[in-house]
Amino acid sequence: MSFSAKKDPKGVIVIGVDGQLIVGNRHELKQRLTEALEGGERKFLIDFSNTGYIDSSGLGVLVSLSRKIREADGELRLAGLNEDLRTLFELTKLDTLFNIADSAAAALASF
């Protein structure tokens, strides 16, 4: 499991989650985004195209980051969720809380 980060030409920080987002690595994602937010970044996209599964701790970190970013007048979007991950968001009703795009390209176009 690992995270990749890059900044697209529109100034969006794109974080890729490779592997799982679970209790063992959720703090790393939180730290990366929090540091970027504190560094002045305001537009974030988390791309789950290469993600296996997310547990409730991972979902919790996303909820927590969403609030932080919103409070800083920033934007967080999610993209690339496979069928399993979409099911998770639907079961927990978190699909109502997040802006979710089908693909990273679609999400980036909407910023």
Partner 1 sequence: MVISVRVPTDLQVVEEAVDVVARHCLASGLTPRAARFNLRVALSEALANAIVYGNGLDPSKSVEVRVVVASNGFAVHVCDEGSGFNPAEIPDPTLPERIGRPDGRGLFLIRQLVDDVSFNDRGNAICMILRRA
State the residues that interact with partner 1 by CB under 8 A.
1, 20, 22-24, 52-57, 59-61, 63-64, 67, 84, 87-88, 91-94, 96-97
CA distance 100 to 82: 12
Shortest Cβ 14–partner 1 spacing (Å) = 23
Shortest Cβ 74–partner 1 spacing (Å) = 17
Six token digits for residue 20: 């799982």
Six token digits for residue 2: 């690992």
- Comparing CB distances to partner 1, the nearer of 6 and 96 is 96
- Comparing CB distances to partner 1, the nearer of 6 and 93 is 93
DSSP secondary structure letter of residue 103: S
Tell me the pairing of strands 2-7 and 13-21.
antiparallel
Q: Please, what's the b/e burial string for 59-69 (b: 16 or more CB within 10 A of its CB; e: otherwise)?
A: bebbeebbebb
Shortest Cβ 35–partner 1 spacing (Å) = 19
Shortest Cβ 41–partner 1 spacing (Å) = 21
- Comparing CB distances to partner 1, the nearer of 66 and 108 is 66
